[in-house]
Structure 1
């Protein structure tokens, strides 16, 4: 199975309001072949105690001929914080991507994923800090796994991979923290994004199978009107 997750703990304060959203999509197209897709997503952000978690996963299986499967999942967490001087939290997560094609000439499998977070000043919608991990695996094509972060985000990561051939995978485990100091009272939004996409295609006759599990890219914008209030427990 392939899956990815984000966990946020040890917030310096509780959010004043929260919003979460999930979306999954599973498409199967077949004309003489067999295909099955599965997509899952979870998003949670609590106030007391302040803890955030998101999870997405996709599985696609295709065999024989003329079949295409696509699975995609998205999970979004948004929290509004009224900060006086310092805002901080810890985070951890993992990203796992895998493709299996028994006959690469007759089967195509691709996966890609993007997860991370951004801290945004709501007075001007400026991104103050960010963290992002992005991965891509494609049968017979270039593969990549990259990290990006701002200066106030510190993290460590443990990666493992096997690339080339009929079976490829990336595994990434990471943990870190954010510490941001403010000169004045500031209203900020923490937006965590977690999105996956997986695709399998068997356009020509084959008795063999292709399996993919993954994460996908999400383009995320924040507007204050999209934040919904959440009463403390």
Structure 2
């Protein structure tokens, strides 16, 4: 319960202050606002990490032709060795004012942990996941605000990966490795949300496998009007037993994106490609991504 209250305080109480200070700076002028906030935390691991890879990326982009746009990213990964505990969190904000602008803020983090489990033993951990998305506009359909976010993890059996190749495998593993995920995933969890003031593809969904137990759940959303929001907190645990000695890899991903536009100006296609936009515009269907176990 303490962890739940900690998340609620950070996500649901702080965000309206951020939103109001940015969105109502100049109430007489048309403005747009998008926010995506996410966090994923793991505690109480039954085994020590024998390998760990961390990647934390963030990007902003702005283009104006008479308007104003601002973008903010705050993203981090925190690791405590003893007892093992790891978390990742991010906040992406995009704000625009007047006409003819595009503002984008996005983050992506990856945590890859490796573990050895002896025969006849079980592997377990507790986790907490949270998302908080907000969008607001003054003048539809000229203006648009779009926010996306997801937090997810996959537990993979990597016993068949040769030890000399394991380090490279951990470094390169990502959600793009659909063949590996389909073949090796034992258990999974995903929390994903999308808001678009155009009224298309709004959702707030979760998925999990049978060995993932959800113990705490808070969810609230509003998908209508010029101001939309989606918020969720989920607490849970994973536990799985192994008859044989097994090498396990935990892949955890946290992504956020906030985007605002008003009569989007033409941009160089090379500049667009250089953004390397996070591919979370479509709903992440984990059950289709992996083989059912």
TM-score, with structure 1 as normaliser: 0.85
Pick aligned residue for 1:160 from 220, 224, 237: 220
Q: Say which of 237, 242, 249 aligns to 1:182.
A: 242
* CA deviation profile, 1:114-147 (whole Å, cap 9, x unmatched): 1111101113550011000111100122310111
- Structure 1 gap segments, 5+ residues each: 205-214, 220-233
5+ residue gaps, structure 2: 1-14, 16-34, 161-179, 265-277, 285-293
1:111: how far off?
1.0
Give the counterpart of 2:209 among 146, 150, 155. 150
Are the counterparts in 1 of residues 38 and 150 from structure 2 also a CA contact under 8 Å? no
The one-character-per-residue Cα deviations of 1:201-224 (angstroms, maximum 9, x if unpaired) are: 0118xxxxxxxxxx97399xxxxx
Equivalent residue for 1:22?
56
1:77 is matched with 111
TM-superposed deviation, 1:9? 0.6
Q: Is the 8 A contact 1:45 1:77 kept in 2?
A: no
Show CA shifts across 1:6-65 (max 9, x none): 111111111112111100000000011100001121113333210010001100000111
Tell me how large the CA RMSD over aligned residues is.
1.8
Q: Aligned residue for 2:192?
A: 134
- How do 1:1-233 and structure 2 match up within 5 A? 1=15, 2=35, 3-84=37-118, 85-124=121-160, 125=180, 126-142=184-200, 143-155=202-214, 156-203=216-263, 217=280
**Bigger relative contact order, structure 1 or 2 (CA pairs below 8 A, ≥6 apart):** 1
Runs of 4+ residues deviating >4 angstroms: none
Alignment size in residue pairs: 209
CA shift, 1:148, in A, is 0.7
* Structure whose residues are more often helix by fraction: 2
Contact 1:22-1:74 at 8 Å conserved across structures: yes
Q: What SS does the corresponding residue of 1:103 show, helix, strand or coil?
A: coil
Query: Paired residue for 2:22?
Result: none
Counterparts of 1:147 and 1:182, CA distance in 2: 26
Bigger fraction of residues in strand: 1
SS in 2 for 1:89: strand
Shift of 1:174: 0.7
Deviation at 1:105, TM superposition (A): 2.1
Q: TM-score, normalised by structure 2?
A: 0.68
